[in-house]
Copies of this chain bind each other. A is one copy, B any other.
Amino acid sequence: MGNEHDEVVVQEVGLRDGLQRLSSIMPTGDKKHWIDTAYAAGVRHMELASFGVLATLPQLIDGAELVAHARRHDGLVITAVATDEAGARAALACGVHRIVAPISASALHSLSNVRRTPREMIEEFRKIRELRDRTDGTRSTKVVAALATALGCAYKGAVPHVEVCDVALQAVDAGCDELALADTTGLATPDKVVDLIEILRPFCSDKLKTAHFHNTCGLGLANVVAALQCGIHSFDSSLAGLGGADGPKSASGNVVTEDLVFMLESMGYRTGIDLRKLMGCRTVLNRTFGQRALEGFVARSGVPDEFQLQPMLWSSTHA
């Protein structure tokens, strides 16, 4: 089940995906504080902004300011979502390191999400990549195609593997640097994650690196383990599981960053994140969302003493 001591990237997406659909608006100062404390805890990958059709959402209106703030931190890899060429231009102007464009395998979801068919979105992605090539001669800014609805769609249910492979192949052809797998509905199960990755691999030319799972049905961590087994070593998650939409009957939040870090480190993977310091980052969320909105099993049970003192104690093969 993977090699112990492998590094795994945990990307904090709470400041974008986490906040995007919540009705409460987090003050910009609090967001900056969140960035600073997460960085101090060792988080080195953050998705901070969305440019394009979502940029005017009041939840995300301060994206450019957040990117500028985050750029003060050495070694922090900053990602922004861009849904179109204009969005990518704004992201490049801010100096982000990664631009993620959502490409849905499901046409209905694609139209709803970015107002383009999958084929139109591939063309837009090609323009984003060409814009990056012109603007950034060294191509140090990476362009990432996020395969939305790869594991199911709220409109059409299951999405046939062939449709996912098709958009993946087109994204590679359009020059993406990376592919990301997104469980948009939160209804993926571990067997389906394994099946899809195995089928998708030959079409991805080693570019499939990241997975994004939700916790709608509590399967986020189980799906991470399944993806780890398939060689994925980069995962999105959200502090306190922030995300989804307020109210009942809506998809619940992202994988909880704290629980993900606990699991990975307990399994012997290195995330570079100090779990106890990470727990402290939660306090900034209280003011806007209140304690009850904050998810997390480890937050509730407390970080086990043994984890703090001697993480390797948990590996009984060493006892």
Contacts and interface: CB of A to CB of B under 8 A. Distances in A.
Nearest to A4: B191
Interface stretch (A38-46, A112-120, A151-159, A171-179): A151-159
A140 B95 CA distance: 71
A90 B172 CA distance: 67
B317 A195 contact: yes
Interface footprint category on A: 35 or more
Contact of A259 (B187, B217, B266, B310): B217
A1 B190 contact: yes
Interface in A173-220: 186-187, 189-192, 194-196, 215-219
Interface string A237-254: 000000000001111100
A195 to B, nearest CB: 6
Given A158-B316, A314-B157, A218 B298 contact: yes
A216 B159 contact: no
Contacts of A27: none
Copies of this chain: 2
A26 interface: no
Nearest to A302: B249
A250 B317 CA distance: 27
Nearest to A224: B222
A251 B301 contact: yes
A61 interface: no
Interface of A: 1-2, 4, 151-152, 157-161, 186-187, 189-192, 194-196, 215-219, 221-222, 224-226, 248-252, 256, 259, 262-263, 266-268, 296-298, 300-302, 304, 306, 310, 313-319
23 contacts: A1-B191, A1-B194, A4-B191, A157-B306, A157-B310, A157-B319, A158-B313, A158-B315, A158-B316, A159-B316, A161-B316, A195-B316, A216-B297, A216-B301, A217-B266, A217-B297, A217-B301, A219-B263, A222-B222, A222-B224, A248-B300, A252-B297, A252-B300
